[in-house]
Structure 1
Amino acid sequence: MIDLHCHILPAVDDGAADMAEALALLRLAQQQGISHMVATPHVQAGYYDNTVSSITAALSALRHGAAAAGIDIQLAAAAELRVEPQLIQLAERKALPLLGHYQGDMLLLLEFPHSHIPAGSDKLIKYLGRLGYRVMVAHPERNRELQQEPSKISQLQRLDCLFQLTAASLLGVMGDKPLQLARQYLAQGIFSVIATDCHSVKRRPPLLADAKAALASSMTPEQLQQLLVDTPAEISQSLFTAGGVMVAG
């Protein structure tokens, strides 16, 4: 399986605190049957000021650490981008790390605040689209505005967004409301991929195999293959081929 959203780079955000924890997360991922992981550290002005350069350096360090520890997982990196004004400047400077490509478009992983969908998000996504970017929305099932009014996701669908489901939501770890909305959106065929969004060994470990097992009775093997392997592989192929962090151009 391929994990497109995880916080495994050591000491760059609220994910793995150090190399030891990063390697522990990789070992757990390996036990879960994950073969490829795209690290997606937060980029949020004033909180997580990660850049292409800093992410590249952290990825290189983790690759060396994993190799020394004998961990056989292919690693690449992108970013989880908070919806905020600085994205416009980063996009214009071609400084947004790509999650990969999908159907010929450059793909970005965007995160809304958990509380709401900020006003103007549609305009931002449209502007990114004019620059050649397409958006994957991280864990919409955890957004309280969507929990209160699930049909609002149609506004994002009309903007050609993709959607990523967090494995822990399916397991009830995030609470009842994310679980219920995850099930609803899955039944509607809204999600494109399932990812771990893992942060730490205790708080949120990588649980893709557990999520797959939880869905075994409600989805076909072909549907699970699409969510856990085929679509993530299509998106991330260019990242793993390039071998580093990718940006536009």
Structure 2
Amino acid sequence: MIDIHCHVLPGIDDGAKDLQESIALINLSVEQGITRIVATPHIHIGIYDNNLKIINDAANIVRDELKAQGMNIELSVAAEVRICPEIILFAQQGLLPFIGDYQEKKVLLLELPSSHIPAGADKLIDWLLNFDIIPMIAHPERNRELQRYPERIKVFQQRGCLFQLTAASLLGQFGELPQLTSERWLKEKLYTIVGSDCHSIKRRPPKLLEARNVIAELIDEEYAQQLVHDFPNLISKRLFS
């Protein structure tokens, strides 16, 4: 399996608090059967002001420790970017970390607020697409407006956005509504990938294998494999070449 949404870099967002927890989370990922990880720390203006240098520096510390411990897993980096007007400037300046490529466009892991769809989101999506960037909407099932009005996902779907399901949503760890919403969209085959979105050993450990097994039972084995391996590999393979 390949995990292209997780928060395993130490001390730069609300994920792993230190190197010890980073390695512990990655160990759990290996035990799950994950062979490649794309670490995606938050970029959220004024809260997590991460950039490419901060992210790469943190990743190099983790890589050195993985090598020292002889751990057999590949680590690359991108970011989970909160939707905001500044994304346009970041894109123009080449400052956005992408999780890979799809249909000759860069793929940006884009996070909505948990409460609503911001005004102008459709126009920002259009601008990104015209700039050869495909947004992959992170865990849309956790957005409360989309939980109440799931048909509004079509604003993004009809534009060609991709969608990432968070494993814990499907497993009911964020409550009933995210779980029911994710089940509905799985049945519609809306999602492109499943990510662990793991943050910590105690609160939010990686549960990608458990989610994969639920999807295989709920839908079928082929779609489960596409979500945890085939599509993540297709999108992120440039990061590991």
What TM-score do the two structures reach when normalised by structure 2? 0.98
Corresponding letter in the other structure for 2:33: G
SS at 1:58's partner residue?
Answer: helix
Q: What CA distance in whole angstroms lies between the structure 2 residues aligned with 1:111 and 1:220?
A: 28
- Give the aligned partner of residue 6 of structure 2: 6
Shift of 1:19: 0.1
Shift of 1:223: 1.1
- Give the aligned partner of residue 111 of structure 2: 111
Assess if the C-alpha contact under 8 Å between 1:39 and 1:79 holds in 2. Answer: yes
Assess if the C-alpha contact under 8 Å between 1:26 and 1:71 holds in 2. Answer: no
Structure with the bigger RCO (C-alpha within 8 Å, sep 6+) is: 1
Q: What CA distance in whole angstroms lies between the structure 2 residues aligned with 1:59 and 1:234?
A: 22
Shift of 1:105: 1.1
Instruction: Describe how 1:18-37 pairs up with structure 2 within 5 A.
Output: 18-37=18-37
Report how many residues are paired.
241
Q: What CA distance in whole angstroms lies between the structure 1 residues aligned with 2:149 and 2:88?
A: 28
Answering whether residue 45 of structure 2 is matched by residue 62 of structure 1, we say no
Instruction: Describe how 1:200-239 pairs up with structure 2 within 5 A.
Output: 200-239=200-239
CA-to-aligned-CA distance 1:201-241 (integer Å, 9 cap, x gap): 01111111111222232222211111110000000001111
Instruction: Describe how 1:143-158 pairs up with structure 2 within 5 A.
Output: 143-158=143-158
Larger deviation: 182-191 or 69-78? 69-78
- Give the aligned partner of residue 193 of structure 1: 193
SS at 1:217's partner residue?
Answer: helix
SS at 1:216's partner residue?
Answer: helix
CA-to-aligned-CA distance 1:162-217 (integer Å, 9 cap, x gap): 00000001111111000000000000110000010000001111111111222232
Shift of 1:20: 0.2
Assess if the C-alpha contact under 8 Å between 2:215 and 2:221 holds in 1. Answer: no
Shift of 1:65: 1.1
Once the two structures are aligned, what percentage of the paired residues are identical?
48
Q: What CA distance in whole angstroms lies between the structure 2 residues aligned with 1:111 and 1:218?
A: 26
Assess if the C-alpha contact under 8 Å between 2:187 and 2:219 holds in 1. Answer: no
What TM-score do the two structures reach when normalised by structure 1? 0.95
Q: What CA distance in whole angstroms lies between the structure 1 residues aligned with 2:127 and 2:212?
A: 35
Larger deviation: 60-69 or 180-189? 60-69
- Give the aligned partner of residue 88 of structure 2: 88
Structure 2 gap segments, 5+ residues each: none
CA-to-aligned-CA distance 1:52-98 (integer Å, 9 cap, x gap): 11111111111111111222111000000000111111011011001
Corresponding letter in the other structure for 2:169: S
CA RMSD of aligned residues (A): 0.8
CA-to-aligned-CA distance 1:111-157 (integer Å, 9 cap, x gap): 00000110011111111111110110000000000000000001111
Moved over 4 A (4+): none
